[in-house]
Amino acid sequence: MNILITGGCGFLGARLARTLLAQGTLSLAGAPAQPITTVTLADRVPPPDDLARDPRIAFVGGDLNELLDCKQLPNAGVALIFHLAAAVSGECEADFDLGMRSNLDATRALLEGCRALGTQPVLVFSSSVAVFGNSPEQPLPAVIEDMTLPTPQGSYGIQKFMGEQLVADYTRKGFVQGRNVRLMTVSVRPGRPNGAASSFLSGMLREPLAGVRARVPVHPDTAVALSSPASTIAGLLRAAQAGSREWGARTAVNLPALTVTVREMAAALERVAGPAATALLDWDIDEGITAIVGNWPSRVQAARASMLGLRADDNFEDVIRDYVRENPGAVKLSLQEGL
């Protein structure tokens, strides 16, 4: 089986690639499991060393739109595509043209490339909880369900919703087997901060654990819908594995979410790394970030995901402890007993 991951050298893309390679086989769209022969990573930056050394990894470097324009992607014989490449929320608000090019134009070009293949590959599109937003004309319900009408209030969410609709129509026409998956905010992400408005939801844990100060730009009682990296990858893989009847409607599936307040996240950090960690948090409200994050839902009922066997993380303290175990070199503070 030949698999393509756009944005494949980023955090989620690389983690997904490692998971696929470790499995060695995959049951695609309800079919019997097949060996994974090639995982092609498309990105602007090269893959991490461990992936680059694996003979099953192929790397296609460059701007995704340019690679699609010159027909380097999608590669012939690809059976499964994970479309993870995107400009993130803060970037899209700051640069409208960047968001439209990265999130809308690239998605349509990728779908056109799949159409030209004529092989109806499975395409898993990483959408976002940001397709839901609060407005005076149509306030968010207390709990988001799979059939809740998306009302995005920012460029990023609007572009992701347009991408969902494109995938749905190309699926309806039989050009791809589309799977729209709405990701929750992923925390804790390792590495450096990115341009997402939600970046602080990892930074407020990652930086203090490394002994570095971190800014928290929202009110402590702000509630958010989170998913650990492991749970997010599980959701993407399950979307690829589900048969069309099992997947059901062409509309997107909300991944399960752990609802937690920013105050509770800080308390979980203190239980893991003590008061020295939370002393490194600078609570400094940013009205722009607050407006974006405050428009996203915090409570999600993921009935379709539950039917697919997916579950939310049990608690945020365990999510932090998983990050510590997976990234020991990034942790500089002494930890509390029980880790």
Amino acid (1-letter code) at residue 27:
S
Question: Rounded to an integer, what is the distance from CA 287 to the centroid of its chain?
Answer: 25
Contact in structure between 207 and 276 (CB atoms under 8 Å): no
Selection from 121, 137, 75, 83 nearest residue 105 by Cα:
83
Q: Report the C-alpha gap between 208 and 215 in whole angstroms.
A: 10
Catalytic residue chosen out of the listed positions 125, 132, 156, 170:
156
**Distance between CA atoms of 77 and 109, rounded to whole angstroms?**
18
- Assess contact for 261 and 220: CB atoms under 8 A: yes
Burial class of residue 191, CB neighbours in 10 A (0-12, 13-18, 19+): exposed
Q: Which of 150, 175, 153, 144 has the alpha carbon at shortest distance from 164?
A: 150
Is 323 catalytic? The answer is no
17, two tokens: 């690639």
d(CA 33, CA 320): 33
Question: Are the beta carbons of 178 and 123 closer than 8 angstroms?
Answer: yes
Distances (CA, A) of 311 to 7, 38, 257, 258: 25, 29, 8, 9
Distance set, CA 110 to CA 18, 53, 97 (Å): 23, 27, 18
The string of DSSP letters for 242-298 reads S-HHHH-SSSPEEPP-EEEEHHHHHHHHHHHH-HHHHTTEEE---HHHHHHHHTS-S
Catalytic site positions: 156
